């Protein structure tokens, strides 16, 4: 499991990743898999590796967008209103962490729209 901190101040957004351990378990299981099990396990391993490749900033951005959606915020993810909504939703979140997560949410939101239209 790897962990990476989003910020170094109070109100840290901590990401925990289990993908390395899951990938290792799947890889070990592939060695004893039957021919019928192998395609599904290979697909599962590919999905785990794909998930592991997602940058931390994108994960924090996704988390922030989910929190904003949960509290009903519909405006820009990096607006002052969004930062306030994040801090209300997560009272332990520092202003710096909320601003950073809001920016990452806006950046990943923009890249998701670009990739879906292009």
Element (H, E) at 16: strand 14-17
State phi, psi for 16 to the nearest 5 degrees: -115, 130
CA 81 to chain centre: 22
What are the pLDDT digits (tens) for 47-78? 999 988 989 899 999 999 999 999 999 999 99
110 and 62 fall within a common domain: yes
First to last CA, the chain: 35
The model's pTM is: 0.68
43 and 16 fall within a common domain: yes
66 and 107 fall within a common domain: yes
**Last residue of one domain, picked from the residues 34, 52, 70:** 52
66 and 40 fall within a common domain: no
72 and 95 fall within a common domain: yes
Structural domain boundaries, residue 37: 2-52
Query: How many independent structural domains does the chain possess?
Result: 2
62 and 109 fall within a common domain: yes
pLDDT at 18: 85
User: In this model, does residue 7 exceed pLDDT 50?
Assistant: no
The more confidently predicted of residues 15 and 86 is 86
pLDDT at 111: 59
- Find residue 2's DSSP bridge partners: 17
Asked if residues 94 and 7 have their Cβ atoms less than 8 Å apart, the reply is: yes
User: In this model, does residue 117 exceed pLDDT 90?
Assistant: no
User: In this model, does residue 100 exceed pLDDT 60?
Assistant: yes
44 and 26 fall within a common domain: yes
26 and 67 fall within a common domain: no
46 and 83 fall within a common domain: no
pLDDT at 43: 96
């Amino acid at each position: 499991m790897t962990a990476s901190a989003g910020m170094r101040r109070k109100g840290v957004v901590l990401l925990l990743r289990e993908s390395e351990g899951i990938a290792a378990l799947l890889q070990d299981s592939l060695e004893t898999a039957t021919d019928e099990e192998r395609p599904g396990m290979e697909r599962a391993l590919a999905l785990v590796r794909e998930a592991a490749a997602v940058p931390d900033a994108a994960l924090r951005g996704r988390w922030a967008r989910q929190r904003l959606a949960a509290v009903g915020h519909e405006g820009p993810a990096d607006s002052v209103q969004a930062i306030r909504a994040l801090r209300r939703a997560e009272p332990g979140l520092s202003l710096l962490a909320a601003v950073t997560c809001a920016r990452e949410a806006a950046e990943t939101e923009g890249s998701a729209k670009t990739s879906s239209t292009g």
